[in-house]
Chains A and B, each alone.
Chain A
Amino acid sequence: MKMTTATVRHIEHMELPPRISEFRRFLRVFLSRKVVIFGSIIILALLLIAIFAPLIAPHNPTQQNLWETLQESSGKHLFGTDHLGRDVLSRIIYGSRISLAVGIVSVGIAGCFGMFLGLLAGYFGGIVDTVIMRCIDALLAIPPLVLALAIGAALGGGLGSVMISLGIALLPTYARLIRGQVLSVKQTDYIMAARVVGCSDLRIIMMHVFPNCLPPIIVLVTLNLGFAILAEAGLSFLGLGIAPPAAAWGAMVNDGYKYLLTNPILSFAPGLCIFLVVLAFNLVGDGLRDALDPRLRGTI
């Protein structure tokens, strides 16, 4: 034992800025880019609008007024009125409830179940992989909108069935993407190290495999949101989604296109909202990916 005490031991120090808490570091990186702050503000604002719609909306969104159809933008009706004389602004405000819900829930369903299946297939391989992936292949063979239509028809109409059918239609992409990620992460030394340490499969999947598969998923989620909102319009148009008097952005774009030349604001206003949602989620997704990337630590 004498030797160990005699040996000059060097504790290595690193000259780096003092450490802050994990959450504050995350926030600092996340909010370090202006566009990310911009995106976050848009999402936050839209969520608030959706929640407090009855308080904000100047008119009843379903109240028809056939004396005031297809009006231009004015002080009374900021975005004008539609062919039934309903106030477009109020309809957009109420529509945000359905559109955001459909977008977020259906992508959420696709993401959760897709990633779950992909993780199982990729991690365990063999027969589990074959069974799951052949089912996924079968789903992929049908175009997503047609698939959603079929599932929606089977489930019957209504908001819930639209969300579920869109979720299932989007699911295969997630499963495939994450399975590929898992296959490459599984080969790394740190997964083997976790096995040597004695981690259970569940722990390895949750602690080591999943976090390292996440970045491409974040990108896919932000891209899919817009698709889900528009697809809801398609389904509603075919009578599977929301019943006519209720407002949803996709349906409003659809209704308004007949008056595109005379009254373009009918389509443009809800279209702009969809654009803003997709853009905002994209920006936030970028920020999220950077904030979670350990390689960018210390540089931002």
Chain B
Amino acid sequence: MVQMLEVRNLRTQFKVDNGIVQAVDGVSYHIDHGEIVGIVGESGCGKSVTQLSLLQLISSPPGKIMGGEALFEGVDLLKFKSDSEQMRKIRGGNIGIIFQEPMTSLNPVLTIGQQIVESVMLHLKMDSAAARKHAVEQLKLVGITDAEQRIDNYPHQFSGGMRQRAMIAMAMACRPKLLIADEPTTALDVTTQAQILELLKDTVKHFDTSLLIVTHNLGVVARYAQRIYVMYAGRVVESGTSNDIFANPRHPYTIGLLKAVPRLDEPKGHKLVPINGLPPSLINRPPMCAFLLRCSYRTEKCYQEPWPELKVVDGQHCVSCYVDLPAKKLGSGGNVTILQLMNTAGMKDPSAELSDIVASTVSQKDQLTNSTYQSSEEILLEAKNLKMYFSGTKGFFKHEAAQIKAVDDVSFKVRKGETLGLVGESGCGKTTVARCILQLYSPTGGGIHFEGRNILGQPKRGLRNMRRRVQLIFQDPYSSLDPRQTAGSIIGEPLKVHKMVASKQEYSHRVAELFEMVGLDPSMEDRVPHEFSGGQRQRIGIARALATNPSLIVCDEPISALDVSIQAQIINLLEELQEKLGLTYLFIAHDLSVVRHISDRVAVMYLGRIVEITDWKSLYENPLHPYTKALLSAVPIPDPFVEEKRERIILRGEVPSLLNRPTGCCFHPRCSEAIEDCSSIVPTLKNVGGGHEVACIKM
């Protein structure tokens, strides 16, 4: 039987100034009719370039497809010219594509309708009236309400989730046989992500279309994909059914990835095992296995032989590795499997050591969490009825047009030595809270008490003192370091500003110490940020925050811009530093698994208010607010066995704009348990026992 799509030995390379980047290096995969297949890998592993190559969307030069075949229903697409009639028919006609960034993949000067109609008229040869009718149907199908009116809207009038829906409608409008979704949900919030993935699954089922999901998120593919390909450095290193991959990973990279991601269902205190080192540069790569230097299972043979071919180990399960990791058929995947696998496989080399550490850390961290929990009652930071309103002005005389209540009456306490996680969807006011605490904004109302003193409205000198004690770690390691300063002077600046060192020797000694503290080589101090990788830059940012010996560090999404294998390194570093230096963290993130992993207590925010705040255990095991429940259920777990059994609450709609906040409980329009009173009564945080506070009138 002819497969829907079969890619054989595809090779694509890019010419750059100092060599050749082998972006896709002999990739083969296939997709059957009606199948959902996932391609997983970190950024730069060639997963997107592979898809662009087979559609011949690579810009050339510098890119060039060097060889291979891409058989679509038996016809080799690579035989056609990039701008040929046949290729244009395939693209958007037989193969639909959805890109990652819904903000830029729609043309801002055309209405949504015009963009759908354009492709429908082209591929389905409809006249404009019929095409418009067809477009409205498509929009209805992807769950856009009032499709007749909204079809004439421009992209900026749609929210992120709606734009991605429109993209799906556009891709599906021509009834493609295959839909390629390249990171379809990466730019979206977790609840919207769940909606979009469900929609994708239902749509392809409805039209009997095959779906190829390209993503870096293992959780996303675990829930939906039937088969998975894991890519690394331009090659497929492991492939198989999703049960094969998750329950019985055989390639060291796959095993590493699964261990490096914190999960909602793992025991707390389990230390993440990061993949050491950095992803390899693809420029003039040596012929050996690219994972070699990061691999903890490597043998002599790996150094001498070229990169191993994919070989079948079991049914559909293929692995490209010389080391034969023992196969284990275990009922439920997840932790147990991985830990056991580590124990059995690690007899020969460093991973034995690693699992020891894991075991010892588990117990230590448990003790630690328990002990900090009881002993430290000293409050380091307290926000009291914090309010931050931004006013929008309008017209020549700048009269106040609207008030945006970004943070509205937020109160919480952070105890010394603990980590308070702050979670919520984008636009819920997490970052605004952080900036108020750091005095980057002056709050409209309320108070912030730090070490017992109200720090709002104090004179400049007090502010400078406070700056020493409270520091910030930024989300984006690229824009948060001055590109024209060397790493050394970035880290040393706080020392100079606060005159914390007496002599030049003391300065350089302290800078070197800070470098080592975050795991960087002090000899790199005169390099500029551009010369470091993303993970290393984040380490520099952390070292800068540590320079003044702060007691509180606000971490604003410190890992969300990093690759999966690097995230674990940074989380571990933050945990280690906390223990060593007795730091207190306010940890802001949208990733609930990470927050669960690192936090002692967690606050959930929605539209500028805290809806639930409690210790991590009660929050994750006994969430009381409907919003928390929905958030938790939207987080994908990288394990198909667990995913099958999970019950899911899909939230309706999207986060409303702060400009028209719903009356009463602002969550009521999306709440599945809402009653009539919810739209009129504003709930306040109520203690329901054991420090568990919930803002819901039904409690």
A: residues with CB less than 8 A from B are 1-4, 6-14, 16, 19, 22, 188-190, 192-200, 203, 207-208, 211-212, 292, 294-295, 297-299
Which residues of B have CB within 8 Å of A13? 521
Residue of B nearest to A192 (CB): B440
Which residues of A have CB within 8 Å of B103? none
A19 vs B2: C-alpha distance when bound (angstroms)? 58
Q: Is there a chain A Cβ closer than 8 Å to B99's Cβ? A: no
Question: For chain B residues 13-54, which have a beta carbon within 8 Å of chain A?
Answer: 17-18
Are B531's CB and A196's CB within 8 A?
no
| A197-B497, A197-B544, A294-B530 known; A4 vs B521 contact (CB < 8 Å) | no
Which residues of B have CB within 8 Å of A10? 276-277, 519
Residue of A nearest to B438 (CB): A196
Which residues of B have CB within 8 Å of A195? 440
A298 vs B357: C-alpha distance when bound (angstroms)? 38
A114 vs B277: C-alpha distance when bound (angstroms)? 48
Which residues of B have CB within 8 Å of A193? 472, 474, 480-482, 541, 544
Question: For chain B residues 438-477, which have a beta carbon within 8 Å of chain A?
Answer: 438, 440, 464, 467-468, 471-472, 474, 476
Distance in Å: Cβ of B95 to nearest Cβ of chain A: 37
Among A11, A189, A199, A299, point to the contact of B521 (Cβ < 8 A): A11
Q: Is there a chain A Cβ closer than 8 Å to B524's Cβ? A: yes
A292 vs B485: C-alpha distance when bound (angstroms)? 11
Q: Is there a chain A Cβ closer than 8 Å to B662's Cβ? A: no
Distance in Å: Cβ of B397 to nearest Cβ of chain A: 15
Are B360's CB and A6's CB within 8 A?
yes
Which residues of A have CB within 8 Å of B353? 8
Which residues of A have CB within 8 Å of B476? 189
Are B531's CB and A14's CB within 8 A?
yes
Which residues of A have CB within 8 Å of B350? 8
B: residues with CB less than 8 A from A are 17-18, 276-278, 350, 353-354, 357, 360-361, 364, 438, 440, 464, 467-468, 471-472, 474, 476, 479-485, 493-494, 497-498, 516, 519-521, 523-524, 526-532, 536, 541, 544, 547-548, 572, 576, 579-580
Which residues of A have CB within 8 Å of B528? 294, 297
Among A1, A197, A299, point to the contact of B17 (Cβ < 8 A): A299
Residue of A nearest to B17 (CB): A299
Distance in Å: Cβ of A118 to nearest Cβ of chain B: 18
Query: 13 other contacts beyond A4-B580, A10-B277, with CB at 8 A cut-off?
Result: A6-B360, A12-B536, A189-B474, A189-B480, A190-B480, A192-B440, A193-B544, A197-B547, A198-B494, A200-B497, A208-B484, A292-B484, A297-B527
Distance in Å: Cβ of B16 to nearest Cβ of chain A: 11
Residue of B nearest to A189 (CB): B480
Which residues of B have CB within 8 Å of A12? 277-278, 519-521, 536
A142 vs B190: C-alpha distance when bound (angstroms)? 56
Which residues of B have CB within 8 Å of A189? 474, 476, 479-480
Are A14's CB and B576's CB within 8 A?
no
Instruction: List 30 interface pairs A-B (beta carbons < 8 Å), by A numbering.
Output: A2-B364, A3-B360, A7-B361, A8-B354, A8-B357, A10-B276, A11-B516, A12-B277, A12-B521, A13-B521, A14-B524, A16-B527, A22-B526, A188-B479, A189-B476, A189-B479, A189-B480, A193-B481, A193-B482, A194-B482, A194-B493, A197-B497, A197-B548, A198-B464, A198-B468, A198-B497, A212-B484, A292-B484, A297-B530, A297-B531
Which residues of A have CB within 8 Å of B536? 12
Are A7's CB and B482's CB within 8 A?
no
Which residues of A have CB within 8 Å of B467? 196-198
A292 vs B484: C-alpha distance when bound (angstroms)? 8
Which residues of B have CB within 8 Å of A1? 579-580
A199 vs B468: C-alpha distance when bound (angstroms)? 11
Which residues of A have CB within 8 Å of B523? 19
Are B579's CB and A4's CB within 8 A?
yes
Are A298's CB and B520's CB within 8 A?
no
Are B497's CB and A190's CB within 8 A?
no
Most chain A beta-carbon neighbours within 10 Å: one of B464, B467, B482 = B482
| A189-B480, A208-B482 known; A7 vs B576 contact (CB < 8 Å) | yes
Distance in Å: Cβ of B361 to nearest Cβ of chain A: 6
Residue of B nearest to A3 (CB): B364
Are B519's CB and A9's CB within 8 A?
yes
Which residues of B have CB within 8 Å of A292? 484
Which residues of B have CB within 8 Å of A14? 521, 524, 527, 531-532
Counting from the closest, the 9 A-B pairs by CB-CB distance are A198-B467, A189-B480, A294-B528, A189-B479, A190-B482, A211-B484, A197-B494, A196-B472, A198-B497
Residue of B nearest to A296 (CB): B530
Residue of B nearest to A196 (CB): B472
Which residues of B have CB within 8 Å of A203? 497
A6 vs B529: C-alpha distance when bound (angstroms)? 30
Residue of A nearest to B493 (CB): A197
Which residues of A have CB within 8 Å of B547? 197
Which residues of B have CB within 8 Å of A295? 483, 530
Which residues of A have CB within 8 Å of B485? 207-208
Distance in Å: Cβ of A125 to nearest Cβ of chain B: 14
A9 vs B472: C-alpha distance when bound (angstroms)? 24
Residue of A nearest to B515 (CB): A11
